[in-house]
Structure 1
Amino acid sequence: MAPTPRRSLRPTLLLSALLLTGTGTVAAHAVEAPSEGSYAALGDSYSSGLGAGDYRAGESCGRSSHSYPELWAAAHPARRFAFTACSGATTQDVMKNQLGPLDKGTRLVSITAGANDAGFADVMSACVLGSDSTCQSKVAAARDYVVNELPPALDATYGAIREKAPKALVVVLGYPRLFTPHGTCARGMSQAKQNTLNDAVDVINRVMSERATNHGFTFGDVTKRFTGHGICSASSWIHSVTFPVNESYHPTANGQEQGYLPEFTRFARL
Structure 2
Amino acid sequence: MSLSRTAGAALLALALASVAVPASATTDAAAARYVALGDSYASGTGAGSYSDVACTRSRNAYPALWAAANAPASFTFAACGGATIPDMLGDQVDELGDDTTLVSLSIGGNDSGFASTMLSCQYSTQSACERALRTAGEYVVNELPGELDSLYATVRARAPHAEVVVIGYPHLYKEGGLCLGGLSSAKRTAVNQGSDLLNETIAGRAVAAGFAFADGRPAFAGHEICTSDAWISSTNVHPTAEGHASAYLPAFSAAVSAG
TM superposition score category, shorter chain reference: 0.7 to 0.9
Q: Does residue 34 of structure 2 align to residue 39 of structure 1?
A: yes
Classify the secondary structure of the residue corresponding to 1:99. helix
Distance in 1 separating the partners of 2:76 and 2:180: 36
Q: Does residue 120 of structure 2 align to residue 126 of structure 1?
A: yes
Counterparts of 1:12-91 in structure 2 under 5 Å?
37-57=32-52, 59-91=53-85
Residue 182 of structure 1 and its aligned partner are, at CA, apart by: 4.2
Amino acid aligned to 2:41: Y
Q: Does residue 252 of structure 2 align to residue 257 of structure 1?
A: no
CA contact (8 A) 1:182 1:232 kept: no
CA contact (8 A) 1:230 1:237 kept: yes
Residue 127 of structure 1 and its aligned partner are, at CA, apart by: 0.6
Between the two proteins, what is the percent identity of the paired residues?
44
Q: Does residue 76 of structure 2 align to residue 108 of structure 1?
A: no
Amino acid aligned to 1:258: S
What TM-score does the superposition give when structure 2 sets the normalisation length?
A: 0.85
- The count of residues paired between Structure 1 and Structure 2 equals 228
Distance in 1 separating the partners of 2:215 and 2:87: 23
Residue 186 of structure 1 and its aligned partner are, at CA, apart by: 5.2
CA contact (8 A) 1:37 1:105 kept: no
Tell me which of the two structures has the higher relative contact order, counting C-alpha pairs closer than 8 angstroms and 6 or more residues apart: 2
Residue in 2 that maps onto 1:94: 88
- Alignment gaps of 5+ in structure 1: 1-35, 242-247
- Larger % of helix: which? 2
Amino acid aligned to 1:166: P
Amino acid aligned to 2:129: C
CA contact (8 A) 1:230 1:238 kept: yes
Q: Does residue 191 of structure 2 align to residue 197 of structure 1?
A: yes
- Quick check: which has more Rg, 1 or 2? 1
Distance in 2 separating the partners of 1:186 and 1:68: 30
Distance in 2 separating the partners of 1:218 and 1:211: 10
Q: Does residue 228 of structure 2 align to residue 234 of structure 1?
A: yes
Distance in 2 separating the partners of 1:115 and 1:152: 15
Please list every run of at least 4 consecutive aligned residues from structure 1 whose deviation after the TM superposition is greater than 4 angstroms.
none
CA contact (8 A) 2:182 2:226 kept: no
Amino acid aligned to 2:195: V
- Alignment gaps of 5+ in structure 2: 1-30
Cα deviation, 1:44-97, whole Å, max 9, x if unaligned, reads 00000111111115x311100000000000111122101000000011111112
Amino acid aligned to 2:201: V
Distance in 1 separating the partners of 2:242 and 2:172: 14
CA contact (8 A) 2:175 2:189 kept: yes
